[in-house]
Structure formats: structure tokens, C-alpha cells
Structure 1
Amino acid sequence: MRGWVMQQAAKIAAAGIVEADTVLLADSDVVFVRPVEVGAFSAHDRITLFRKEDAVHAGMERHVIWHRVARELLGLPAAPPPPLNDYVDALVFWDPVRVRAMQERITEVTGLPWADAFTSQLHVSEFIVYGVYADEFLGEEQRPATSPEICHSAYIRTPMDHEAAMAFADRIGPDAIGMMISSHSHTSAEVREAAARRCAEVAASR
């Protein structure tokens, strides 16, 4: 069993147990740059869902596999060919009531405790499973609206220098409450901290 799959299962378990209306999942690389006000990310008294429509293309092989596995766990027909929706981000809101319903569905479909079924998968994404569940099982009136971009992210594999980090920070959007420069980029702590400070300054001015 892969450690990162266990980490995902822990997120689902925690979100299902917590006594709250909303859960905010944050990647370990995220730095908050604005106050978090859940009401700003709700529509019709329901928390919004991070959803990039038709963002998953055929070349994103891992995402395509995640969609296949999600639909198997949820007992859904196979996904159509790409493009597919993407639900993966560094900052994501979840509704604990929906998480518990998703857990129950996985147990019902697989005949196993949801955690056993989930962690038995070699390739799986908690965000894709939750997003597919929300879009496929909630009626039109309950289907969550699409969230604005709440995390200003740089998914990169090469280090940012100070100039690039400042340019990145200056592009932060009006709805972003966090910023993230991937640790896989090996960007120095000094540059990452400078980018976070600059993001907070820009955010405060808008």
C-alpha cells in the first residue's frame, strides 16, 4: 500500500468525521495570503466545488486512470473519452455530508469498508472521487457550483528565481486565498517566502 494513498484515505476519513459544515483541504506547500471566509465560496447556501471543466485531456494519463478508478469505486459506467473534468487543486473545499455519503456509496458498491476499497487501489485520487461523486450523484438543485480559483499555484519542476517568483506573485487572482509553489520545483525557501509575502501584499491591495 502506498503512503500517499493512505494520506488520501486519512483526508476522507477526517472530513467524514468532523462536525463542521465545510472542510478546507490544503496541500503542504500552500501559504495562506488572505483571510478565509467560507461564505465567499458558497452559492445558494452550498459550498462550491473546484471543477475545471474539460481540463483533463488524453495526454494526462494519470488523471484518466483516476477517473476510471473513481467510477469503478462509485459503481458508475465507464467515463466517456477525454476531455474530462479536473477536480484536483492545492486548496479544495469539501462538504462533510457529501463525504459521508460518498463513503457509504463506496461501501455499498464494493462490499468492503470504504477505506479498504479505497486503499486497495494502486492509482486513485481523493479529489477525483469526490468530484465525480458530487457531479454524478447530486441532483441539479444540489450539484455544487464551480468554485473560483482559490489557490494561485505554480506546478513546476524547475526552481524559480526571485524575478520569476515576483512576476508569479503579481498575477495572483482576486479570489485566491492561498499561494503554492510546488516543492518539486526545489525553489529555495528564501524565494518561496518572498513570493508569499508579495502575494499577500498584492492580495491586500485588491
Structure 2
Amino acid sequence: MTNPSIAIATPSYADDLERCRLLCASIDRFVSGHTMHYLLVEDRDLPLFASLAGPRRQVLPESALLPRWLSSWPDPLSLGRRRVWTGPGALARGIPPLRGWHAQQLRKLALPLKSHEDIVLFADSDMIFLRPFDVTSLSTADGVRLYRKPGGITQEMERHRGWCEVASRLLGLPQPAFPSADYINNLVSWRRDNIVAMMARIEQVTGRDWVSAIAANRQFSEYMIYGYFVEGVRGLAEAGHWPDAHEPCKVFWFDEDVADLEGLRSFEEVLGPGQVAVGVQSFTGVPLARLRALAEAEPGR
């Protein structure tokens, strides 16, 4: 692929607005080589995120990506504090009520079918870039980088094992063997042509439109489906990917990880070689002011 166009995509929602604003500012400061940054949001959140739009940033509502029969509603079981994605059309298709994390995955899967860029790089809204990063480095003469950790999913990882089994079933592959490669990470890059071929494969195997086929599974992983397709169906070389287990984003996933932030003066203190960003999961409860201070502090001061 010669001089491919590259987009960055970020699914987000109202509660992560200020974190997303911090991400956008860090992209504007440190990231180059992309043609567009897409923010993928629920329709009702569109006015909240509108101020983040710009010449190279577009806010896309969910209705521009997903079918009308799948939409969000207040969840009566939480007295409206949470949302569920459902509707008569979804229920008629045998799709159980979905949560926000399901909808975000479906938005990510849909984006390459709606956008025109050759490559999409996903950056979660709880990430912050801290070092210069040219996204064109993802594409080389050998293809496009694909995060792949050999043997990263073992038999004991029940939830992950389920994701592998769903991916295999959707793609018409044999039951997966474990340990299996892991394709889940931050800053994962996909090729648009593979997504187009993957959706055609899913629809051929299942006899359903791809949204219905995937959403009918209560648990699924967009990254595992893509990884299983490009390696198990097409083969990495034919799919135009080269595998890489390096993690360019340092992620703090759990409360025990966040404890490591207490003595830091700057995020630079925890970045390893080749790492350009940090991610602190929003459910860990680290205050936004603390994240901004660590991101903006000069190393050693």
C-alpha cells in the first residue's frame, strides 16, 4: 500500500467528554500523518462533543454508522441512569439489549465501511499522547502494523476464550485452540479493505447482516474478530499486515495499577522505549486534574 490515508478513531460518551478533550489536545500537539480524527458518539451526545470538531476532527453520531433499528433507550432497571441499545427491530432479530461497550465496538466496526481512509487507528478517549507520533510509521513495505501477542489468551481466561469462540463461529473457522494469539490493545490499526471483506465473510457464513450477526452474541470482541479474520481467513501477508507485540501505549487497567501513579511527578517516568501514550481507564476514578498535571509536568520536576 503506497502512501495510504490514515484516520484516527475514538469512540466516546458524555461521561468521558473532558478526558476526550484532553486526548484531542494531545493529538493536536503530538500526532501527525493522519487525515482525520473521528469521534464516534451516541446521537444525544453530539451537541456535547460538537466543540471538539475542526478541520481534521469530525464528530460522527451513531445514526450515521449503525442501522435505525438499533438505538439507545433509558434503562428502566437503573431508573434511567444507564442506557440500553435495543428496539422492536433488534428484538425481532433476536438481539438482546446491549450496553454502551457493545455499541462502541459496533461503531468501530462500522466506521471503515463509512469512511474513505485506507487505515483506521483506534485511540480510546481515556488515552493521552505524550510523545511525537507519526501515524504513517504504521505502514511499511511489509504492510500495516497489527497488534498480535502470541499465546496471549490461555484456556484459563474464560471471557477471552468466549471472544475467540464467537469470532471463530462468525467467520466459519474451526474451534480455536489455546493458547491463542491476542489482538486486543490500545492503538490498534485496521485496514479498510479487510473490514469490507470481513463483513462479507460474516454475512456469507451467518446468512445475516453483519450488525445482527455480531450483536446477537452477548459477548464479543471487535479486535478478536478482526484478528481472527486477517490471520485465520486471509493470512497476515495476504491481508497486508505485519504482526507486532509491542505496546505503544502504557495502560493502567485496574485500581492496583493506579497505585503506581501516586508517587509520579510526570507520566514520562512510566513510559518505556517506543511508548508514545498513556491510558488510565476511566473506571479507576483518577481525577481529571491529576491526569492533566501528570501529562503536562516536565520530567524530573
Q: TM-score, normalised by structure 1?
A: 0.86
Q: Which stretch shows the higher mean deviation, 151-160 or 123-132?
A: 151-160
Matched residue, 1:23: 120
Kept after mapping to 2: 8 A contact 1:160/1:191: no
Query: Distance in 1 between the 2:155 and 2:221 partners?
Result: 17
Q: In structure 2, do the counterparts of structure 1 residues 141 and 86 end up closer, same or farther at CA, with 3 Å as the change threshold? A: closer
**1:42 Cα deviation after fit:** 2.4
**1:165 Cα deviation after fit:** 4.2
Q: Deviation digits for residues 98-131 of structure 1, max 9, x if unmatched? A: 1111111110100000111011110000011011
Unpaired runs of 5+ residues, structure 1, are none
**1:49 Cα deviation after fit:** 0.4
Query: Distance in 2 between the 1:53 and 1:165 partners?
Result: 32
Matched residue, 1:150: 248
Q: Does 1:181 align with 2:280?
A: yes
Query: Distance in 2 between the 1:161 and 1:79 partners?
Result: 36
Kept after mapping to 2: 8 A contact 1:162/1:191: no
Unpaired runs of 5+ residues, structure 2, are 1-96
Matched residue, 2:190: 94
Look at both structures and tell me which one has the larger radius of gyration over its CA atoms: 2
Kept after mapping to 2: 8 A contact 1:91/1:178: no
Q: Does 1:72 align with 2:169?
A: yes
Q: Does 1:42 align with 2:130?
A: no
The 5-angstrom pairing of residues 1-206 of structure 1 reads 1-3=97-99, 4-80=101-177, 82-139=178-235, 141-143=237-239, 144-147=241-244, 148-158=246-256, 159-160=258-259, 162-166=261-265, 169-198=268-297
Backbone CA RMSD of aligned residues: 2.1
Query: Distance in 2 between the 1:57 and 1:107 partners?
Result: 29
**1:67 Cα deviation after fit:** 0.2
Q: How many correspondences in the alignment?
A: 199
Q: Which runs of 4+ in 1 moved over 6 A?
A: none
Greater RCO (Cα-Cα under 8 Å, separation 6 or more): 1
**1:32 Cα deviation after fit:** 1.7
**1:94 Cα deviation after fit:** 1.0
Q: In structure 2, do the counterparts of structure 1 residues 27 and 153 end up closer, same or farther at CA, with 3 Å as the change threshold? A: same
Indicate the structure with greater strand content.
2
